[in-house]
Amino acid sequence: MPRELKCVAVVENTLGECPVWDVDQQCLYWVDITEKVLHRYDPVTAAVKTWKTPFEFGSIALRKGGRSIIAGTRDGFAIYDLETEACEHFATPEEPFPGNRMNDGKCDPAGRFWCGSIHEVSDPSQRRPIASMYRVDADRSVTKVRGGIKTSNGFAWSTDGRTMYFTDTPTLNILAFDYDVQSGTMSNERVFATVPKGHGRPDGATVDVEGCLWSAHFAGSRVTRYSPAGDVLLSLDIPAQNVTSCTFGGANMSTLFITTAREDLTAEDLRQQPLSGNVFAYEAGVAGVPMARYAG
């Protein structure tokens, strides 16, 4: 019997992204990058709380204690206090590139925040490889790890932390690297999987306890589950064209929460896909791996 996909938060996000499950509070956080909004969804009450952020948060990660988050901003990184709404902007490595902004990000198993930028132009085909990938250590030091990127997405780590995943979305390739958790370094780049043309573009991703990667397809109306060897195990259809990211949560960590976007959709697109921009939940039948909190 097929498992049920539900729309659980009607928020009509322009660019819903970076869902993060808070194990302590048992709630889901995510951002609407374009509208400069941070959301929190409580599955028990179905209530959605929103914060208006001072600038675009491309991605977020929880910090220890639960009171604040680290965020990738337009030109760098900030600490945002969820109680006082104070924002401490502590690094601006993308300032020399006004056409860029920080995009996807996630903490590695040791609590380092990895985040990459995007060359943001209205026509994706005109993006240039001037974006970069960064690592923010616990002392808030920022290291540029890689350049030559157009659209950073899909950060994820295997259950044992020894494999790191990443995609430069326009290439349609999901990359894998050997990862050293102790030093926070990656090596041995290879192509893990390639999204066929016409199936959308690989966006945000997460990993389950069986070592499988779940990857959202922007402009592809689906989430794909890949085996540790890169084979397609499941293609989950989503009633929204622009599927942006996914993460596991819920009481048993077996609910896959999926964010979507209304960006780039015409009035006719929205008529045919009225649930675009909302958050979905799918009982995956397998648990996910909680994302580590930022150690700083």
Would you state the pLDDT for residue 160?
A: 96
Q: What is the pTM of this model?
A: 0.97
- Give the model's pLDDT for residue 37: 98
Low-confidence ranges of the chain (pLDDT < 50): 1
At 2 the pLDDT is 53
For the stretch 18-28, pLDDT in tens is: 999 999 999 99
pLDDT for residue 175: 98
Could you list the active site residues?
203
Closest CA to 210 of 222, 225, 223, 195: 225
What's the CA gap between 72 and 82, in Å, rounded? 15
- Among 249, 201, 208, 192, smallest CA distance to 222 is for 201
Per-residue pLDDT, 1: 37
